[in-house]
């Protein structure tokens, strides 16, 4: 079916004919190809199978021949005009076969549904629809697709923009430009110059509305333009002028949702089409925007403050999560320094940032800096005052909970939250348990490394020497032997004995539920925080890979202990676990044999059975 009047019937796989709905033959000719033109007003039909020289007729929508003559090539232009080629050359004709223009080139282009152009030898000729020649341009070229109220003609390296009244409204020598029309009926165009940031808003009568070095985006709902020039943004309307002056940094136009936003005082507002600002959401972004403008850098903070650095592109804003410190900066050099908002170095003379760990969050939400002069190392506050004075050392580290360690040539010195060194005897070592507790370690007579629990000033809180601890649950462990039987004794957070169990040793995992792996000298099991055995002592190895315990019963059999302490047989050996963001499930893998199992975090089984991808 072609339309309400015509039906196509195939004669054989290569040819067809036209019939009406009463099965009457409309045209006796047979055709091989067909195209619909001018929204169904005309049909171009080809009797030839030759790809280069056709035998093309022009039919109306009823299947009648408009012109009782075939052409090699036919192109519909506009207003019932056709570009045709045959043995008599190339020409423009109307439906009466009247010649509008003759002796044309092999190709034709149209513009604004009013003009057509063709090239003969090295000259472009532009005609109106009456066939009157309007332009002749050496090395001229008219591009494709100019359907509305403008078109571009080029000649060599020169480019000319005309409106539909053939008025020259813009030209550029030596640089190509592109035009964006806002809509079919709009009288405004955006001109973008190739290899340049320059853009121009121009009316089709030739009036230049705005020129800008940067971005110009039309916002249909607002009937205005989003303008960006370097770091500055604003909103411009050709009728109202600057609605938001070109002075905002935290303004954005979202292309997908066609929405305009502005950020003020940690709040993001959505700007309505009538330019009313409606609170949209809080701005949780603490990012400092860095914008380079020529030979200076602009740092735009979430609170709206803008700090300008006049010279270096290597200066960066200093951000330490959790700090309420004043605005500071550092440079990206081999010997980095710290600068205040006037870009004055605040570090002690001769010192620069230590490589590796550099910035640290101090108590009271202040910022500290690890510094060195190439030989000595130390810690300063944000004003360059010494917290840990410089000493000859190799490394300085944050040990969390406000403690710091300095590695010298022969030992490691721990500093407490008051930046005081905690001296220890030779062979002893301090580990940080939490903000109030330290472990003073040494080797006991049994060969185990044991420790005393001390306060933050290194005063012992108990005479008992422990061998392990779980800082999350404040559980301490001591290994002992009674009558030749090895035992593990558990102590409460007040260092009182809870119970002793017949395990050779235990291993605390980073498991918030307090579960731990136990070992009886031969087999491994898992015990919960209440000292109940939840995975029996029968496994060759056990690995904790959050949130699961992998229980290896044999070389070929792996079981899984879930967060709900259920044991599931995986029927395969599994070696790794990865969380899949898309499915919100866990993928277990064996890299040696390509086995894979996808499981749910809680239930492990989907609909009563494991989902086995390959096993």
Per-residue pLDDT band for 203 (boundaries 50, 70, 90) equals very high
Per-residue pLDDT band for 407 (boundaries 50, 70, 90) equals confident
Token pair recorded at residue 175? 């640089």
pLDDT for 607 = 32
Per cent of the chain over pLDDT 70 is 91
Residue pointed to by tokens 């513009």: 111
Token pair recorded at residue 119? 């090239």
Q: For 460-476, write each residue's pLDDT tens digit.
A: 999 999 999 987 778 99
Q: Is the peptide bond before 233 cis (omega within 30 degrees of 0)?
A: no
**Contact at 8 Å (CB) between 486 and 472?**
no
Q: For 409-419, write each residue's pLDDT tens digit.
A: 778 889 999 99
Kindly state whether residue 501 falls inside one of the protein's structural domains.
no
Q: For 281-339, write each residue's pLDDT tens digit.
A: 776 566 777 777 667 777 877 777 788 887 666 888 888 877 878 789 998 888 999 99
**Contact at 8 Å (CB) between 534 and 551?**
no
**Contact at 8 Å (CB) between 146 and 160?**
no
d(CA 94, CA 108): 15
d(CA 444, CA 301): 55
CA 232 to chain centre: 23
Kindly state whether residue 8 falls inside one of the protein's structural domains.
no
Q: What is the largest CA-CA distance in the chain?
A: 121
pLDDT for 532 = 95
Per-residue pLDDT band for 108 (boundaries 50, 70, 90) equals very high
Kindly state whether residue 333 falls inside one of the protein's structural domains.
yes
pLDDT for 4 = 82
Kindly state whether residue 336 falls inside one of the protein's structural domains.
yes
Per-residue pLDDT band for 582 (boundaries 50, 70, 90) equals low
Kindly state whether residue 77 falls inside one of the protein's structural domains.
no
Q: 132 Cβ partners below 8 Å, 6+ apart?
A: none
Kindly state whether residue 297 falls inside one of the protein's structural domains.
yes
d(CA 356, CA 347): 17
pLDDT for 305 = 78
Residue pointed to by tokens 């980095």: 336
pLDDT for 608 = 34
Q: For 269-284, write each residue's pLDDT tens digit.
A: 999 999 999 988 776 5
The CA distances from residue 511 to 508, 517, 545, 546, in Å, are 8, 11, 10, 8
DSSP string for residues in 534-603 = EEEEEESEEEEETTEEEEEEETTEEEEE-TTS-EEE-SS---EEEEETTTTEEEEEETTTTEEEEE-TTT
pLDDT for 612 = 37
Token pair recorded at residue 117? 């152009």
d(CA 365, CA 325): 7
pLDDT for 466 = 94
**Contact at 8 Å (CB) between 487 and 481?**
yes
pLDDT for 539 = 94
Kindly state whether residue 375 falls inside one of the protein's structural domains.
yes
Q: Count of domains in the chain?
A: 1
Strands (E), 399-474: 404-407, 412-415, 421-422, 429-432, 437-443, 449-455, 468-470
Q: Provide the mean pLDDT of the chain.
A: 87
DSSP string for residues in 72-90 = SEEEE-STTEEEEEETTEE
Q: 65 Cβ partners below 8 Å, 6+ apart?
A: 27, 57, 58, 59
Q: For 9-34, write each residue's pLDDT tens digit.
A: 888 888 998 998 888 998 888 999 99
238 DSSP β-pair partners: none
pLDDT for 408 = 84
Is the pLDDT assigned to residue 583 strictly greater than 70? no
Determine the structural domain holding residue 348 and report its residue range: 289-423
Kindly state whether residue 328 falls inside one of the protein's structural domains.
yes
Residue pointed to by tokens 């004794």: 489
Per-residue pLDDT band for 558 (boundaries 50, 70, 90) equals confident
pLDDT for 605 = 42
d(CA 159, CA 175): 7
Q: For 369-397, write each residue's pLDDT tens digit.
A: 999 999 999 999 999 999 999 999 888 88
DSSP string for residues in 383-394 = TS-EEEEEEE-S
SS3 category, 474: coil
């Amino acid at each position: 079916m072609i339309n309400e009047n015509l039906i196509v019937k195939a004669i054989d796989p290569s040819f067809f004919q036209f019939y009406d709905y009463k099965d009457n033959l409309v045209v006796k000719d047979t055709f091989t190809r067909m195209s619909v033109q001018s929204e169904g007003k005309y049909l171009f039909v080809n009797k030839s199978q030759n790809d280069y020289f056709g035998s093309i007729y022009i039919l109306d929508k009823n299947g009648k021949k408009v012109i009782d003559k075939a052409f090699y090539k036919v192109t519909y232009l506009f207003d019932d005009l056709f570009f045709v080629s045959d043995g008599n050359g190339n020409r423009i004709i109307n439906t009466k076969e009247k010649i509008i223009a003759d002796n044309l080139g092999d190709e034709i282009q149209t513009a604004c549904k009013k003009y057509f152009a063709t090239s003969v030898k090295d000259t472009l000729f532009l005609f109106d629809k009456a066939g009157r020649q309007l332009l002749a341009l050496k090395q001229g070229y008219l591009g494709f697709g100019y359907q509305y109220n403008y078109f571009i003609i080029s000649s060599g390296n020169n480019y000319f923009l005309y409106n539909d009244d053939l008025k020259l409204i813009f030209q550029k020598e030596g640089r190509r430009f592109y035009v964006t029309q806002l809509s079919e009926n709009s009288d405004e165009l955006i001109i973008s110059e190739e290899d340049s940031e320059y853009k121009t808003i121009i009316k089709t009568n030739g009036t230049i509305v705005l020129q800008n070095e940067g971005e110009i985006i039309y916002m249909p709902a607002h009937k205005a333009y989003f303008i960006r020039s370097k770091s500055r943004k604003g909103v411009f309307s050709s009728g109202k002028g600057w609605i938001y002056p070109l002075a905002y940094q935290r303004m954005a136009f979202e292309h997908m949702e066609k929405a305009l936003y502005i950020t003020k005082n940690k709040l993001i507002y959505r700007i309505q089409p009538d330019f009313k600002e409606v609170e949209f959401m809080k701005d949780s972004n603490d990012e400092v925007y860095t914008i380079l403008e020529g030979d200076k850098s602009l740092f735009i903070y979430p609170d709206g403050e803008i700090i300008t650095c006049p010279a270096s592109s290597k200066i960066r804003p200093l951000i330490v999560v959790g700090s309420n410190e004043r605005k500071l900066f550092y440079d990206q050099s081999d010997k980095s320094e710290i600068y205040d908002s006037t870009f004055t170095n605040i570090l002690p003379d001769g010192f620069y940032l230590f490589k590796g760990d550099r910035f640290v969050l101090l108590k009271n939400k202040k910022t500290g800096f690890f510094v060195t002069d190439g030989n000595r190392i130390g810690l300063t506050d944000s004003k360059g005052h010494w917290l840990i004075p410089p000493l000859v050392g190799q490394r300085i580290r944050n040990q969390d909970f406000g403690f710091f360690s300095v590695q010298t040539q022969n030992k490691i010195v721990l500093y407490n939250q008051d930046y005081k060194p905690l001296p220890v005897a030779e062979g002893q070592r301090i580990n940080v348990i939490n903000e109030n507790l330290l472990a003073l370690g040494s080797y006991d007579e049994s060969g185990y490394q044991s420790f005393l629990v001390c306060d933050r000033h290194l005063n012992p809180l108990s005479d008992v020497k422990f061998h392990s601890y779980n800082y999350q649950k404040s559980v301490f462990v001591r290994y002992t032997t009674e009558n030749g039987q090895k035992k593990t004794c558990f102590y409460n957070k007040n260092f009182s004995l809870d119970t002793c169990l017949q395990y050779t040793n235990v291993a605390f995992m980073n498991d918030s539920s307090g579960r731990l792996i136990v070992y009886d000298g031969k087999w491994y099991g898992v015990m919960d925080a209440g000292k109940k055995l939840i995975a029996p002592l029968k496994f060759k190895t056990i690995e904790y890979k959050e949130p699961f315990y992998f229980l290896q019963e044999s070389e070929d059999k792996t079981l899984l202990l879930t967060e709900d302490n259920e044991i599931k047989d995986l029927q395969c050996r599994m070696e790794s676990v990865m969380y899949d963001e898309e499915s919100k499930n866990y993928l277990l893998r064996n890299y040696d044999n390509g086995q894979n199992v996808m499981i749910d975090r809680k239930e492990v089984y989907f609909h009563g059975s494991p989902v086995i991808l390959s096993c």
